[in-house]
Amino acid sequence: MMLDYYNVLDLLSSEERQVQSVVRDFLDSEILPHVADWWEKADFPTHVISKFGEMGLLGANLPAEYGCPQVNNMTYGLIMYELERVDSGFRSFAGVQSALAMYPIYKYGSEDQKQSYLPNMAAGLTIGCFGLTEHEGGSDPDQMKTTARKVGESYLINGSKMWITNGSIADIAIVWAKDDDQIVRGFIVPSDTPGFTANKIQRKMSMRNSITSELIFDDVEIPATNILPEAKGLSAPLGCLTQARFGIAWGSMGVLESVYYDALNFSNIRSTFDKPISSRQLVQDKLVDMVVDHTKGLLLATRLAQLKDAGEMQYQHVSVAKRENARSALNAARSAREILGGSGITLDYSVIRHMLNMETVDTYEGTHDIHTLVIGRDITGQNALV
Ligand SMILES: Cc1cc2nc3c(=O)[nH]c(=O)nc-3n(C[C@H](O)[C@H](O)[C@H](O)COP(=O)(O)OP(=O)(O)OC[C@H]3O[C@@H](n4cnc5c(N)ncnc54)[C@H](O)[C@@H]3O)c2cc1C
C-alpha cells in the first residue's frame, strides 16, 4: 500500500489508482529483489527496458497516435513515484527517455520525426538521451560551446556534453548546440554516426543503477532533416526540463516512502535499554518529520499534476515542487540512515542507496539553489541568478 497519511489517493480516479497498483506489483516482483545487486555492480540492467516498454512506462503521457499509452499527467506522476520508490536510477532512465528524449521530438519535431522515432521509443526499442550540460557548468546552459555548422544539406556537430544519463546505451541523442547564428537548436543524433563517442563515467557513488556519460562530437555529420524544426532558443531544452522535473517531484516522494518504511520497521524491531527505539521521542521526531514531509510533498505533486492536466502548470510551480520534494527526500534518507545506525550503511536496506542517489536528484535538473533563485526572481521581479 502506498504511504498516504492524508488519503490523497481518494482524490484520484480508480483508473489512476489501478495503474499505480499494477506498476507497483510489477516493480516489486521483477525489479526490487535485484536492485541492490545492480546498484553495487554499478550497472544498468538493459534487459528491463523492453519490459518497461511493454508495461507502458516510457512516454506514458504522450499520444496514442505515436504508439504511447496517453495516460494523464497524474498517472504519469504515479508511475514516476513507483519507479523511484525502487531506485532513482529507474526513474532517471524512464524520465530521460520520456521527458527529455521523446518529449522534444513530440513537441519540437516534424511529423516524420514523430512517426519514425516515437513508437519505437515507447516500446523501448530505441533508447534516447538528452545532451545539454557541458563541462563548464550545468547551471548556466547558455554558455554552451557545442556548435552545429550548416554545410550544404548537413550539419556538422562539434563539442562535448557531460553527465548525460543513458549516454552510453542510447541509440539517439537529443543534442543541443548553437547554430551559425548562435541560436540554440536541437538535433537528433544517431549514436552510431562517425565522430560520436560516449564515455561512461566511472566511480560514481550515486545513481549507480543509471548510466551517466560524457559525449564527444568530432565533426559528427547529420542530415539537415535531423534538426528539430520547432526548437529555437534555450527555452526549448528548458521546456523539456520542466517536464522531467515534474517527474522528479513525484519520484522523490517514492524515495521518501521507501526510506520511511525501512526506518519505521527497523525502529519497531530494534531494542535498546529494553525498549524498541520507536518508543523514544527522538526517534519518533524523525519518523514524524518523514511522514509530514511525505504528506506535504504528495499534496504538492498531486496539485501540480492537476495544474498540468488543466494546462495551467507554470515552470515556477515545478521549481517549487522539485526543490522541496528532492530536498525533503534527501533529508529523510539521511534521517532514516541515522535511525538504522550501523545497519543503515549496508545495501541490505534501501536507505544508504536512496541517500546517495538523492544527492544527485537534489543537484540535477536545476540544483536546489538554482530553483530558489528561479522562484525568487518570479516573486520579486529581481534576477539574482546572473
Ligand atoms: C547523475 C547525473 C545525471 C545527469 N544527467 C544529465 C542529462 O541526462 N543531461 C544533461 O544535460 N545533464 C545531466 N546532468 C547534469 C546536471 O543537470 C548538472 O549537474 C546540474 O545542472 C548542475 O550543474 P553542474 O554540476 O555543472 O554544477 P554547477 O552549475 O557548476 O554548480 C555548482 C554549484 O554552484 C551553484 N551555483 C551555480 N550558479 C549559481 C548562481 N548563479 N548563484 C548561486 N549558486 C550557483 C550550484 O547551485 C551548485 O551548488 C546530470 C548530472 C548528474 C550528476
Judge if the beta carbon of residue 165 lies within 6 A of ligand 1.
yes
Query: For residues 186 and 176, is the Cβ–Cβ distance under 8 A?
Result: yes
- DSSP class per residue in 50-74: HHHHHTT-SSTTS-GGGT-----HH
The single residue of 82, 134, 324, 365 carrying the catalytic annotation is 365
Nearest atom in ligand 1 to 360's CA: 53
Domains and CATH numbers, the chain: 8-122 (1.10.540.10), 128-232 (2.40.110.10), 235-380 (1.20.140.10)
Give yes or no: 84 in active site.
Answer: no
Single pTM value for the model: 0.98
**Max Cα separation, the chain?**
79
At residue 83, φ and ψ (nearest 5 deg) are -60, -45
Query: For residues 158 and 220, is the Cβ–Cβ distance under 8 A?
Result: yes
- DSSP class per residue in 294-349: HHHHHHHHHHHHHHHHTT---HHHHHHHHHHHHHHHHHHHHHHHHHTGGGGGSTTS
Dist. CA 202 → ligand 1 center (Å): 18
Dist. CA 206 → ligand 1 center (Å): 14
Residue 195: left (phi > 0), alpha (psi -120 to 50), or beta?
left
Element containing residue 92 per DSSP (H, E) = helix 88-95
Nearest atom in ligand 1 to 161's CA: 11
Report how far residue 169's alpha carbon sits from residue 304's, in angstroms, rounded to the nearest whole number.
32
Q: Which residue is listed with cell 516522494?
A: 253
Contacts of 278 (CB under 8 A, 6+ apart): 264, 267, 268, 284, 287
- Counting as low any pLDDT under 50, the low residues of the chain are none
Judge if the beta carbon of residue 2 lies within 6 A of ligand 1.
no
Task: For ligand 1, pick from 208, 367, 373 the residue to mutate: most ligand atoms within 8 Å of CB.
Answer: 367
Report how far residue 269's alpha carbon sits from residue 272's, in angstroms, rounded to the nearest whole number.
10
Judge if the beta carbon of residue 136 lies within 6 A of ligand 1.
no
Judge if the beta carbon of residue 132 lies within 6 A of ligand 1.
yes
Condensed to tens digits (0 to 9), the pLDDT of residues 67-83 reads 999 999 999 999 999 99
Judge if the beta carbon of residue 174 lies within 6 A of ligand 1.
no
